[in-house]
Amino acid sequence: MSTETRRERLAAELDAMQSLRTMSDILEFESAATPPDRYLITFRGRGICRKSSSAADLGLVDMHRVEIRLPFFYPDRPPDLRWLTPIFHPNVSHSGLLSLPDIGLTWSRDLGLDVICERLWDVARLAFVDYAHATNAPAQRWFEEHPRFALPVDPRPLRDRRPPPSVSIVRHTLRAARSASHDEHPNAEILFIGSDTPTPELPVRRKATPLEGVLYIGDDGTVRRPGT
């Protein structure tokens, strides 16, 4: 791979990571070099770690850090991954070193860092667990012996910043309405009523009296209302 091709891929990865960050309240990252070939990823959310050497002495953690290094032959070679903060997971070894197959991913040039980060977050919150390819035997035994343990410990997906469905529908409807109206009536103005449009006050309806609308016609042909 030429140096220029690698630089273009690294720049594209940075764009994808920045886009991912705008869609997540969970992920933060720091990068090194220009374009970056090393990332320090921070996930702010729940996971499980050991408080002591005992596998039974577990506790919750609220922050995780993972280092991602992109080797010289990237993307022909996969990134190097290392978990830096304490974690108790069947697929994360004591050293913290990870390979993509450990977490259920197969490397290809089309696999981006944003997708890898989504899987790393699933590992952190224990939404992904693969007992058949465990690299941490004590963690594997513990989770297999406690099948009723509620997983994942954090329910949020990594891309947790999503506009409300009503907003998406409103924008789509507004665009369609503007387009159709412009084609049929180029000079027409569009009144769009959305969820934030104030509701006007309804007119007060006057209560009718029991005899309202009743008329008496006299023998002489005069017309009068009751009580008159």
* Residue pair 46/60 in contact by the 8 Å Cβ criterion: yes
Residues 137-168 pLDDT 10s: 999 999 988 876 789 999 999 999 865 554 44
Scan for tokens 């990571």, then name that residue: 17
What is the rounded radius of gyration, in angstroms, for the C-alpha atoms of the chain? 32
Amino acid at position 92, single letter: V
* Pick from 160, 198, 191, 167: nearest CA to 177: 191
* Residue pair 64/49 in contact by the 8 Å Cβ criterion: no
The total number of residues written for the chain in this structure: 228
Alpha-carbon span 14 to 113, nearest angstrom = 9
Alpha-carbon span 83 to 135, nearest angstrom = 13
DSSP H helical segments within 23-152, as ranges?
A: 113-124, 137-145
Alpha-carbon span 70 to 9, nearest angstrom = 11
- First CA to last CA distance, the chain: 103
Amino acid at position 186, single letter: P
Residues 27-80 pLDDT 10s: 999 999 999 999 999 999 999 998 876 666 899 999 999 999 999 999 999 999
Percent of the chain residues past pLDDT 90, beyond the cut? 60
Which long-range contacts does 79-82 make (Cβ < 8 Å, 24+ apart)? 79/113, 79/116, 81/116, 81/120
Alpha-carbon span 119 to 156, nearest angstrom = 13
Q: Is the pLDDT of residue 173 over 90?
A: no
